[in-house]
Amino acid sequence: MTRWTNWAGTATALPRRVHQPRSTAEIADVVTGAAAEGHRVRAWGSGHSFTAIAVADSDAIDLTHWTGIAAVDVPRRLVTVRSGTKLRQLNAELDTLGLAMTNLGDIDAQTVSGAISTGTHGTGAKLGGLATQVAALELVLADGSIVTCSADERPDLFAAARIGLGALGVISTVTLQCEPSFLLSAQERPEPLEQVLEGFDEFAAANDHFEFYWFPYGSNALVKRNNRLPADAERKPLGRLKEFVDYEVTENLAFGGICRIGRAVPKLVRPLGKLASQVLSAREYSDLSHRVFVTHRGVRFVESEFAIPRESLPGVLAELRALVPKLENPVMFPVEVRIAAADDIWLSTAYGRDSAYIAIHQFLGMPYREYFAEFAAIVGQVGGRPHWGKMHDLGAPELREHYPRFDDFLRVRKEVDPGGLFTNTYLDRVLGPAG
C-alpha cells in the first residue's frame, strides 16, 4: 500500500490501490472497476488542500501522468487542459501560446482540477475565482460514462461541477477561457494597518488586484497592489539578486527561522511578530501576470479561510484583532485579506455576493485549534463560508444555511452518483451521506 500525506501533514491516507491512468478511457476503466468491486474512489491532486477532501480510503486515482494542454481554440482563446496538470505547468504552456489566465492565486502547486474543485481564488473586486474562468468540463461519472458540461450543455451539472469537491465524478479535462498574455505592475510595501483599513474600499476599487497581510502584534500591514499595463509596456522584473534576497532569504529562510524560534519559545512570538511587521520591505516591478500573481511558499503552515459579505469586513477584522491578544497560544503567521466579485457557481464561497476573504494561519507544529475555532465563531455571525480546501469544522446542516443552492447541488449529486462512489469521510460531513 502507498501512504499519502497532504502538504501540511493534516491529512493522511493508506488506499487499497493507487491507479495512474494516462487517458480518459483509463480513468473510466478505473471508475467502473472500483464500482464493480464495491469500492469507493477519489482522485488525487497535488495534496495542497488542508482538509481531508482528497483522502481516498479505498481506490485512489493519481493523475500525475495525465497532464498538459490537449486542445486550443485560438480564435476564441479556449484552452482545454488535462486535469492532472499543475498550475505551474499550465502557466508555462500558456506563455508559449501568448495566453494567460485572467486571475490566479498566489500558489501554483495545485492541479487545475483540484484548484477549481475546491474554490481556489485570487483577489480583485471585479474578478471571480479560478472556477469562473472555466468554459466547459469533461467528467467521468459513476457509471463510467464520459460527459461534457458547459453553460449550454447540461447546465445544472456545470453549475455544480465547477466547484464540485470531487463529489460528482472525476474531472478528465478542463476548458478555460483565457486571454492574451499581459503584464502586471506590482507594488508591495508596508503601510500602517489603520490607514489600510480606513482606505480599504477606495484601494480595492482603484486597483485591479488588492490584498494585504496583517502581522498580529504589529502596527503595519504588507499591502500588495497589482495592476495591468498596456500591451506595449516594457517588462521590468525584479533582479535575480533582489528576488532571491526578498523572497527566498527574507520571506522563506529568515521568516522560517523566526517561526521556529517562536515555536520553541512561545513567549518570544509577540516581540518577533512585532519585529516582522517593522522590517517589511518595499518593492516595485512588472512582469508577466503569473510571475506577479505567484509567490514561492517555503514555510509550512496550517490555514483556515472564510468568505464573508464584503460589507462585513470592518466588523470582523475588529473582532479578530481583539481576539488575538486574548488567545492562550500566540499567533506566529500573518492574516491575509483578499476580495472577489459575486458569481453564480452553486458551491462557490462568493455565490451571489461580493466577498471578502480572511485567511488565518499558524506555523506548523504550533497550537491553532482555539484560534481557528474562535475565528470560525466570529465569521459565523455574518454568514461566513469556509474555503473547501482549508480547515474548518462545519457540517452539512450549517453549510446548507449559507448556500442557497446547496440542495440543488445534492440533487445533481444524487443523479450522477446515486451510490456514493466518489464520497469520503470529509464529503460525508460537509454534504451529508450520499445516496
What domain count does the chain have? 1
* pLDDT-based confidence at residue 282 (cuts at 50, 70, 90): confident
Confidence (pLDDT) at 279:
67
Which grid coordinates are listed for 383?
454568514
Strand spans (E) along 117-200: 134-140, 146-150, 170-177, 179-180, 183-192
Is 1 a residue whose pLDDT tops 70?
no
Tell me the pLDDT tens digit for each residue of 293-325: 998 777 889 999 999 999 999 999 999 999 999
In a domain, 406, yes or no: yes
Q: How far does Cα 239 stand from its chain's mean position? A: 29
Tell me the pLDDT tens digit for each residue of 209-218: 999 999 888 8
Is 356 a residue whose pLDDT tops 80?
yes
Q: How far does Cα 58 stand from its chain's mean position? A: 26
* pLDDT-based confidence at residue 132 (cuts at 50, 70, 90): very high
Whether 313 contacts 383, CB under 8 Å? no
Tell me the pLDDT tens digit for each residue of 44-63: 889 999 999 999 989 999 99
Whether 274 contacts 359, CB under 8 Å? no
> In this structure, are strands 209-214 and 301-309 parallel, antiparallel, or unpaired?
unpaired
Is 125 a residue whose pLDDT tops 60?
yes
Helices 269-278 and 255-264 pack at an angle, to 10 degrees, of 160
In a domain, 364, yes or no: no
In a domain, 63, yes or no: yes
Q: Is the dihedral of CA 356, 385, 111, 256 positive or negative?
A: positive
For the segment 254-272, the average pLDDT, to the nearest whole number, is 86
Is 244 a residue whose pLDDT tops 70?
no
- d(C-alpha 131, C-alpha 114), whole Å: 10
Domain holding 165: CATH number? 3.30.465.10
Is 249 a residue whose pLDDT tops 60?
no
In a domain, 5, yes or no: no
Confidence (pLDDT) at 434:
86
In a domain, 348, yes or no: no
Q: Please give the residue range of the domain that contains residue 88.
A: 43-180+396-431
In a domain, 145, yes or no: yes
In a domain, 73, yes or no: yes
In a domain, 176, yes or no: yes
